[in-house]
Amino acid sequence: MEATKHMPLTLAEACRLIGRFLKPETGFIWTAVVYGIAVALLGLAVPVSVQLLINSVANTALPAPLFVLSGLLLGLLLAAALLSAARIYVLALFERRVFARTVADISLRALHAKNPHFDDARRGDLFNRFFDLMTVQKAVPHLLVGGFAILLQSGIGLVLTSFYHPFFLAFNVVVAAVLIGIAFLWAGPAVRSGAALSHAKHETARWLESLGVSNGFYGHGGRLTTALARSEALTATYAKMHRRHFHHTFAQTIGFLMVYAVASAGLLAMGGWLILQGQLSLGQLVAAELVLSSAFYGISQLGSHARTFYDLVAALHELSLFERIEQADGDGWNGPGPANGNLRLRDVELDGLRFNIAVEGGEILAVAADEGVERALAALIERRARPERGSVMVGGADIAAFGPEGLRSEILVLDRPTLAETTIREHLSGGDVSSPARIHECLERVGLAERVRSLPSGLDTPLFASGSPLSTGEAVALKLAAALLRPPKLVVLSTLVDLLPPDRVTAALVGFREEGTTVLHVTQRPPLPVHDDQIKLGSDGYERIVDRDDQLGPSVLRERTHAVAA
């Protein structure tokens, strides 16, 4: 399996990712930050109250100041508690909102993808990245509640105690400088190793998913050993990436713990020495110990918050892959699609092929085409490929003039047996309310009515992407019935339709004729009487497949333009 290619991740790019992702939620973030600042400031009520208690209340020996001080402290702490609860509530709203926004964004990108068949580019596993959103939902509140509070309280504590004595100022500057050095020394390598670890995780999940889908293939012959070897190799890669990431985060955690130990001991030694020198009061020392001990303990916990930050960056890096989904051209008109199925390809060149095709609206043509030509033609009609020169006209207008939604609603290329994972009823109706009689008529045309009735749940039978419980031919017939139920203006049928009996194909084509739908039926069979004409599209030029004078008459047969080598 080919590994997914990823862009290198730097610390600056990580910050840009976070900023871009959180920008729509700025209101929630700033509200949480304001609440956090208020809580941090109110948290200073305890050390300040203790200092006042030692310096003033203890000297007066009166109960009234003590009760007043205790009441004020209670009020301030209750306010801090309420603000903390409000911050948690705001961040819960953030989690729900970011979930809804991400789901909407991914849905729109998937629906408007230029090539909606993600497995063509071996990117079906892309949507596993959605689960990284759960990491984001947990990491952001964790960092705003825990990490931001630690940084804010530590910063306020260092600033506050710096006014006690010049030695405290110098001590706090050294502590802050060491912390910044530890943070930035390992941040860059840890961000990169965290992203690599996440990529290794998803590569393993991709392999296991493919193993589950095709386990029958690997269970025969010598493939079992190959599959196990692949699993072991991916496990070894993940363990290697985990070991590398752990080395960075563990070293950084040790650095924070060392700062905690040295700074706590140094604070006590320096404070005691200043008291002995008569340059610091006992109340100031106790207040400094309360403030800085709490700050230093928070510093000892920065390692876990740093790991959360790296997990957040890795998750956002995975989610950013959805932005690489190439979108369908959205420059066209957002109104209805083509008015009819007239098709004109004039001097169109693509991948060494030149197309000159003219098809009138409502015509049903049998087409014999090389596989590469068929794919190129389908890509041009679906606007998944831009012609190198020439123009593609549908309904009398350039195909580029239509928006992707209008175009897809009126143009259908049936070239895959895979189905959407819905029920048969939902697949047929597309979410619209359709007449049961009309549904039965369409199923009867393609020969599926009896098969659907035989299923335990009938029309409400769930479908899987592989087509199960239907066979491949039945899945193709179901897609054909869905097209008949809501006929577009232009339909391209691939050789998959050859899986159906000729009489069923004829019945379906008659249904399209009744609706005025233009049909290009690519087939390896002889043409059917319902076909208006037959053409061959290939690199060797135009060729009449069979003489149909006896079947269609000279008034129907006419020479058509064709695809030739450029």
446 vs 424: CA distance, rounded Å: 14
Q: Residue 97 corresponds to which tokens in the numbers above?
A: 């909102």
Question: If 0-12 CB within 10 Å is exposed, 13-18 middle and 19+ buried, where does residue 236 land?
Answer: exposed
197 vs 203: CA distance, rounded Å: 10
139 vs 379: CA distance, rounded Å: 42
Cα–Cα nearest to 491, from 502, 499, 480, 503? 480
Q: How far is CA 353 from CA 377, 387, 398, 535, in A?
A: 10, 10, 20, 16
204 vs 287: CA distance, rounded Å: 53
Cα–Cα nearest to 481, from 436, 448, 523? 448
Mean pLDDT for the chain overall: 82
Q: What is the pLDDT of residues 126-170, one digit of tens each?
A: 888 999 999 999 999 889 888 888 888 888 888 888 888 888 899
Domain 11-324, second-level architecture: Up-down Bundle (1.20)
Look at the block and give the residue holding tokens 């009309």: 438
Question: Measured in whole angstroms, how far is the alpha carbon of residue 118 from the centre of its chain?
Answer: 13
Whether 355 and 563 have beta carbons less than 8 Å apart is answered as yes
Q: What is the pLDDT of residues 243-268, one digit of tens each?
A: 999 999 999 999 999 999 999 899 88
3-state DSSP assignment of residue 348: strand
Which distant-in-sequence residues (6+ apart) come within 8 Å of 307 by Cβ? 249, 253
Cα–Cα nearest to 136, from 307, 312, 319? 312
**DSSP summary character for residue 357:** E
Question: If 0-12 CB within 10 Å is exposed, 13-18 middle and 19+ buried, where does residue 109 land?
Answer: middle
Fold match between domain 11-324 and domain 343-565: no
Dihedral sign for Cα atoms in the order 452, 455, 458, 463: negative
Greatest extent of the chain over all pairs of C-alpha atoms, in Å: 122
Look at the block and give the residue holding tokens 């290619």: 5
**Mean pLDDT per 10-residue segment, the chain (566 residues):** 62 89 86 82 68 61 70 79 85 91 89 69 76 92 85 84 87 93 93 94 89 72 80 94 96 95 90 85 78 85 93 93 77 67 85 84 87 84 84 85 80 85 84 76 90 89 85 90 90 90 92 91 90 77 43 41 44
pTM above 0.85, yes or no: no
Q: Which amino acid is at 51?
A: Q
Q: What is the pLDDT of residues 332-352, one digit of tens each?
A: 456 677 888 888 888 888 888
Domain boundaries, the chain: 11-324, 343-565
386 vs 354: CA distance, rounded Å: 13
In what helix (H) or strand (E) does residue 466 lie, and over which residues does it extend?
A: none
Say what the pLDDT of residue 564 is.
Answer: 44
352-356, long-range: CB < 8 A, 24+ apart: 352/565, 352/566, 353/539, 353/563, 353/564, 353/565, 353/566, 354/390, 354/563, 354/564, 354/565, 354/566, 355/380, 355/390, 355/537, 355/563, 356/561, 356/562, 356/563
121 vs 127: CA distance, rounded Å: 13
63 vs 497: CA distance, rounded Å: 95
Say what the pLDDT of residue 52 is.
Answer: 64
138 vs 481: CA distance, rounded Å: 46
Query: Which of the listed CATH numbers 3.10.20.30, 3.40.50.300, 3.40.50.620, 3.20.20.110 matches domain 343-565?
Result: 3.40.50.300
